Structure formats: C-alpha cells, structure tokens
Amino acid sequence: MPISRFLVGTSLAITLACGGAAFAQNITIGVPVGLSGANSVVAPSVVQAAELAVDEINAAGGLLGKKLALEVADDGSGAAGAQKAFDALIFQKKVNVLISMETSAARNAGLPIVTRGKTPFIYTSFYEGRSCNKYMYINAWVPDQQVAPMVDFFMDKKDSKTFFLIGSDYAFGRGMLSFTKNYVEKRGGKVLGDEYNPMDATDWTAIISKIRATNPDALLMSTAGGAPNVTLTKQLRAAGIKAHFGNLGLDEGTAKSMGADAEGTYLAGSYYTSVETPANTKFLGAMKTKFGEKLLTPNDLSTPQYEAVHLYALAVKKAGTTDAEPVLAALKDVSFEGPRGLIQMNKERHAPLTMYLGQVKPDGTVNIMSTFKDVDPGSQCPKLD
C-alpha cells in the first residue's frame, strides 16, 4: 500500500541520514597499505604507528572537536590493489585524508584517484624522488638524501671501486639505481652491472650468477620494502657472495626478521631505534606501553607515518577546517618534533631530514656509524608551490 511504503521509505531515509551524521562526528584518515604482497612484512608496523598517533591526538581532545579515526585498506603492495584500495577509501568511505606508506607502483596507480577525489595525501615512504601531485606531501627521504652517504662510505672507508646494482623492476628500483649509478660514476667508481627482478619474484639465481661472474667490491640493493629484501639477502648469503652488502631499501624491522642473514649489511636511513633523542625515547616508550608484547620494531617506514598523522592534525588545526585547499596550504608551514627530529615538509613538498649510516648487528639492531644533519632533499617538485 502506497502510504506504508512511503512511511517505510521515509524512516529508512531518516535512519540513513542519522547514520551519515554519526560518521560526520569523526575525522577519518585513510591508510591504504600493503597488508599482502611485498610490503606485508612492514605494513603492520606502519598501522601500529598510525594507531599510536591517533590515540595521542584523541587523548589530547581530538581535532576540531571531533575524534580521529583510522580506516585501513589493503593495497596488495601493487598497482592493481592500490586502485581498489584508494577508490574504496576516497569514494566509499569518504576519508578526509590519506596518509600512508606504499610501493611506488601503488602510489603511482593511486595518484590519479587522489586527484579525482581531491583528497590530501601524505606519502610516508622513502622513494625514488620526483613524484609530484597537487594533493601530495612527502615526509620521507629521497635518493638525494640517502645514496651519497652510503657510496661515499664504500669508496672512502672500504676502498670499493667496483659496484653491482640490484633492484626490483619498478619505479623505485629503477629510479634509485639510476640515481646511484650517476653518483658512483661521478665519484669515479665503476658500475659493473645493474639487474632487476619483478617485484614479487623470489628467485634471484640468475642475478647472483652474474654477480659471481663480475666479482664486484660492493653490492647496492634497492628492492621493494619487505619480502624481496629477505629473499635476496638469504640467497646472496646462501651463495657465499663476499662483496660488501649495501642495502638502500632495507628498514630495521625487515632486518630483524631476517635473522642471521642481515648481519653486516650497511644501511642508510632517517630512523633507527638506536637514535638517542628525547623525542625518540618518548616515542618508543609510548609504543611499548600501547602494544606491549605485540610491538613490531618501529622503523624508517613506520615512524614517518606517526609523524605524518601529527603533522596532519597540526595543519587541520592551523587551517581550522578539513577542506583540502586550506589543509594543503597549511601542511608546508607546520612542523612536528618526532622520533626523527624536527619534520617540516617545506622544500617543494619534501622535508629536510637527518640521515644516519649504519650497519646491522648480530641481534638485528643497527649500529649507527655516522650522522648527517638536515640533509636537503634537492629540487624534487619545482613546478609546485
């Protein structure tokens, strides 16, 4: 009967509107991250870092009178999964911002969706540089900040003249290694070869046989974060390769999961748990208190996530709204003292960072050998504000 159908329809509409209104009480941060695939080794630590930041902000009264909430989606560490994850977060869950660490393949696939959805996006993963988008800010390192310390160390302190470069076959692997090759050759070193394997490939046999044949002094590896690092290092060790191992894409969390195989690898990054600052001690204490036994090693892919959530909160407070344009303008002006030091994304959407060069110890932690303060990211996005 028409009247009761009208009543049912109206009450349904009212219920949905109330439900919608309930959602408007939260400010939602979308986190598309590689819960499956190559990044799955690190992704849980990234989610933990985001959860701590959200807890801290909510405990201090929330943001603009509302509570902060997280919406996590699996991007499969790749382009296809990223399209689904970004689409779901932006258009179905209607998040206010995306803050996440992803592979370059996932990021490049997601950026057109970010542009279409006009959603601010803070990218928290180190990457190969020069990715620019009106809606994106980056608070992690680029090769201009990370490669030089490692190569200089090998050439000056370890007398390495020949290098072999290994990477995953996508934007990050290719971009990092092309930068590295240029830098090595500029410094007078020789690159004996550069080889790439698909991101999800687990068999490095052919590349290892090439390394054996060319016998380089040092290896420079730039694979996708997580699983490829583990399989490559395992197989290199199993094959008895004697060169120095320099890993450009390895974080401390993954190094820990490698066990004995990681020992002796050289790393460069913007964060290690052994960094001794008051902010880092406070951060590690808070993580331990919140997660206890389940705590996953905070690392160079998870601490930028923590800082990015805080930076977003500060930008929203400054802009007085969650609308994209004012928040994007505010993001370059706010700064946050986090475990990695004072972070401000004011250099063409990127941030100057303090970098550390270290070596993995037998227990999986990193021994910091040198510190480089406030390294400039170089010119990454000259066309953006």
Partner 1 sequence: MVAQLLDVVSTAAILYAVAAGLLLVFGVMKIINFAHGALLTVGSYAAVVAGQYGLNPWLALPVAAAVGALLGIVIEYFVVRPLYARPLDAILATWGLGIVIGQLLTISFGRGVHFSEPPLRGVVDILAVDYSRYRLALIGVAVVIGVGISALLSRTRLGLDTRAVIMNEDLARGIGINSGRVRFITFAVGSSLAAAAGMLITPLSSVDPNMGTPWLVNAFMLVLVSGSSLVSLAIACVVLGGAQVLVSSYVSPILGGLTIAVLAAIILRVRPQGFAHA
String of b and e for 60-89 (b: at least 16 CB within 10 Å)?
eebbeebebebbbbbbbbbbebbbbbbbbb
Helix (H) or strand (E) holding 327: helix 324-331
Q: Could you say which of 182, 202, 214, 215 contacts partner 1 (CB under 8 A)?
A: 202
How many Å apart are CA 61 and CA 70, to the nearest integer? 16
Stretch that binds partner 1, among 85-93, 201-209, 216-224, 309-317 (CB under 8 A): 201-209
Query: CB-wise, 59 or 206, nearer to partner 1?
Result: 206
What are the residues whose beta carbons fall under 8 Å from the beta carbon of 15, sequence distance 6 or more? none
Closest approach of Cβ 358 to partner 1, in Å? 23
Stretch that binds partner 1, among 53-61, 65-73, 199-207, 291-299 (CB under 8 A): 199-207
Q: Would the CA dihedral through 207, 208, 212, 217 be positive or negative? A: positive
Closest approach of Cβ 205 to partner 1, in Å? 5
Closest approach of Cβ 303 to partner 1, in Å? 20
Task: Restricting to residues 219-248, name those near partner 1 by CB under 8 A.
Answer: 226-227, 230-231, 234-235, 237-240
Task: Restricting to residues 8-47, name those near partner 1 by CB under 8 A.
Answer: 35-38, 40-41, 43-44
Task: Restricting to residues 63-122, name those near partner 1 by CB under 8 A.
Answer: 74
Closest approach of Cβ 255 to partner 1, in Å? 13
Under rule CB under 8 A, residue 197 binds partner 1: yes
Query: CB-wise, 60 or 213, nearer to partner 1?
Result: 213
Under rule CB under 8 A, residue 207 binds partner 1: yes
For residue 245, how far is the Cα from the chain centroid? 22
Stretch that binds partner 1, among 117-125, 205-213, 294-302, 333-341 (CB under 8 A): 205-213
Task: Restricting to residues 154-173, name those near partner 1 by CB under 8 A.
Answer: 169
> What is the token pair recorded at 373?
């303060």
101 closest CA partner among 20, 30, 175: 30
Closest approach of Cβ 310 to partner 1, in Å? 27
Closest approach of Cβ 6 to partner 1, in Å? 44
Contacts within 8 Å (CB) and 24+ apart, 43-48 = 43/101, 43/226, 44/296, 45/253, 45/296, 45/297, 45/298, 45/299, 45/301, 45/302, 46/100, 46/101, 46/124, 46/301, 46/302, 46/305, 47/72, 48/287, 48/290, 48/291, 48/295, 48/296, 48/298, 48/302
264 closest CA partner among 178, 353, 363: 363
Under rule CB under 8 A, residue 195 binds partner 1: yes
> What is the token pair recorded at 318?
């400054």
Q: Which residue has the tokens 């209104």?
A: 21
Q: Could you say which of 206, 293, 383, 385 contacts partner 1 (CB under 8 A)?
A: 206
Query: CB-wise, 51 or 261, nearer to partner 1?
Result: 261
Query: CB-wise, 217 or 307, nearer to partner 1?
Result: 217
Under rule CB under 8 A, residue 212 binds partner 1: yes
96 closest CA partner among 35, 60, 54: 54
Closest approach of Cβ 213 to partner 1, in Å? 8
How many Å apart are CA 10 and CA 214, to the nearest integer? 75
27 closest CA partner among 52, 74, 62: 62
How many Å apart are CA 302 and CA 99, to the nearest integer? 11
Under rule CB under 8 A, residue 201 binds partner 1: yes
Site size toward partner 1, by CB under 8 A? 37
> How does DSSP classify residue 96?
S
Query: CB-wise, 82 or 343, nearer to partner 1?
Result: 82
> What is the token pair recorded at 144?
């201009």
Q: Which residues bind partner 1 (CB under 8 A)?
A: 35-38, 40-41, 43-44, 74, 169, 195-198, 201-203, 205-207, 209-210, 212-213, 226-227, 230-231, 234-235, 237-240, 257-259
